[in-house]
Amino acid sequence: MKKRFLLLLILPLFVNSIFADEYNNLYDLIVPESFSSLTIDGGLGNVGGNSSQLNYNDNILEMTIANGSFSLDVQADASYRLYNQTETTQLDIQTTGRVWVGPIQSGLFASLNADYTSYDLDIGGLSGFWYAGGYSNINANTTFLTLNVSPKAAIGVGRVYTIYDVYRAKLMLEHLGVTPTPEKVEAVVAVFQKSNEILNQYSNDSTKAYKEYYQKLAEAMGIENRALDVLIIDIWNSQKYAFERARFVGMVNGWDARLGAEFQYEKNTGPSTYRVKFGPEAQIGGFLMEDLFYFDADAGLKLDYILNGTLAVNVNTMGRMVYLPDDYRMWAEAIVDIDYLSQATTPFQFDIAGAFYYLINNNFKTYGGLRFDESLSFSLFAGGEIRIW
């Protein structure tokens, strides 16, 4: 999770200062989406035969005349993903596996990442949620074994929504010469949120899925006969569109606070390690001063206890502020990152940076800024890109 911080003492003031614009009713739009895929890749010795670069690390047959050595290797990979999202739940399961067999060495690698979140809790009259998930992996062959298992869980209140798609849809409409309205933006965002489901359809010709996706976007925009224009601006962009869109990347709206715990077990060549991490986290994001400024912030306190008796305290905080003037040619941002790591040589660490970006014309963009950190090093940076012809 990205760590974002804006001085926690004044966060309540920011919350009370948030101004809604005409699209704020779309911030919590969640469109149900579901898809799954299973891919198996195997071969005698070399997996990935479509590569343009031949791979000699794992060969079908190896024979050395000098000493008469001989080996025949077989390898298989598999990957599986299941994703299901409703208005109140989200499930994401991803697994990978590899098996190889040979006369010299055989082995197995497998990993699992699973996350489930439900937003249907009522906690003291507040909208609450709970989360359960974790990861595990095993890597074993005839000479070594490593194993990692890490289940985790959390409970909290509030909800943070990603709003990048709202402003991406509005900006795309403008650049296509279509007057944006809340209704059109909502329709476009609904297609954006179904993109993985549409593009991950099983087919002997994947171009059909892309045609369907961009036709749906064009229809949502009210320009049914301009699907190619929509594809071009989404994939290849224009200089101006790409410059404007960059300011909205990563934007969120809302707040949440959670209390979580994670157990970690790690087995390598040495003794096993057991540890527990637990503590609170919070995140917030929104707009200030009639959308002239955007901010997001988060903070977390983690107690990291290793079962040999070692206890570490980690405090991670980060915040970002983005200046959004009406003039699309310029925008600016500032980031503050402050951490306390009790076991580190330098417990208190911080990194403060700010930058501005200016589009002189579509073929000439510039940037500049400054930053400093706990070592009291101070740096200025500036640059740009211009196409001469």
Residues of 84-97 as b/e, b for ≥16 C-beta within 10 angstroms? bbeeeebbebebbb
Whole-number Å distance between alpha carbons of 173 and 162: 19
292: Cβ–Cβ under 8 A, 6 or more apart, which residues? 323, 324, 325
Percent of the chain with pLDDT over 90: 70
The predicted-structure confidence for 311-331, as pLDDT tens digits, reads as follows 999 999 999 999 999 888 999
Strands 348-361 and 364-373: antiparallel
| pLDDT exceeds 80 at position 71 | no
Distance CA 175, CA 242 (A): 11
For residue 106, pLDDT beyond 90: no
Distances (CA, A) of 87 to 91, 175, 284, 350: 12, 30, 20, 38
- Total residues found in the chain within this entry: 389
Q: Which of 31-45, 59-73, 95-109, 159-173 has the lowest average pLDDT?
A: 59-73
pLDDT of residue 68: 57
Does the pLDDT value for residue 253 go beyond 90? yes
Separation between Cα atoms, residue 218 and residue 224, nearest integer Å: 5
Instruction: Give me 155's structure tokens.
Output: 């409970």
Residue 296 pLDDT > 70: yes
341-355 residue pLDDT tens? 998 899 999 999 999
Segment 381-389 mean pLDDT: 94
Quote the CA–CA distance of 208 and 218 in Å, as a whole number.
Answer: 15
> Which of 46-50, 56-60, 101-105, 237-241 reaches the highest mean pLDDT?
237-241
Percent of the chain's residues with pLDDT above 70: 86
Query: How do the domains of the chain map onto residue ranges?
Result: 34-155, 164-246
Q: Detail the DSSP E strand segments found in the chain.
A: 33-43, 61-64, 69-72, 74-85, 89-101, 107-123, 126-141, 145-162, 252-267, 273-288, 293-306, 310-323, 330-341, 348-361, 364-373, 378-386
pLDDT band, very low/low/confident/very high, at 72 (cuts 50, 70, 90): low
Average pLDDT of the residues in 92-104: 87
Band of pLDDT at residue 214, cut at 50, 70 and 90: very high
Q: Is the pLDDT of residue 228 over 80?
A: yes
Q: Is 52 exposed, middle or buried (0-12, 13-18, 19+ CB in 10 A)?
A: exposed
- Provide the pLDDT confidence category of residue 15 given band limits of 50, 70 and 90: very low
pTM of the full structure = 0.84
More confident residue, 42 or 280: 280
**Nearest alpha-carbon partner for 117 in 76, 89, 157:** 89
- For the chain, the average pLDDT equals 87
Rounded CA-CA distance 209/228 in Å is: 14
pLDDT at 227 over 90: yes
Q: Distance between CA atoms of 245 and 237, rounded to whole angstroms?
A: 10
Q: What is the spatial distance between Cα 296 and Cα 286, in angstroms, rounded to a whole number?
A: 6
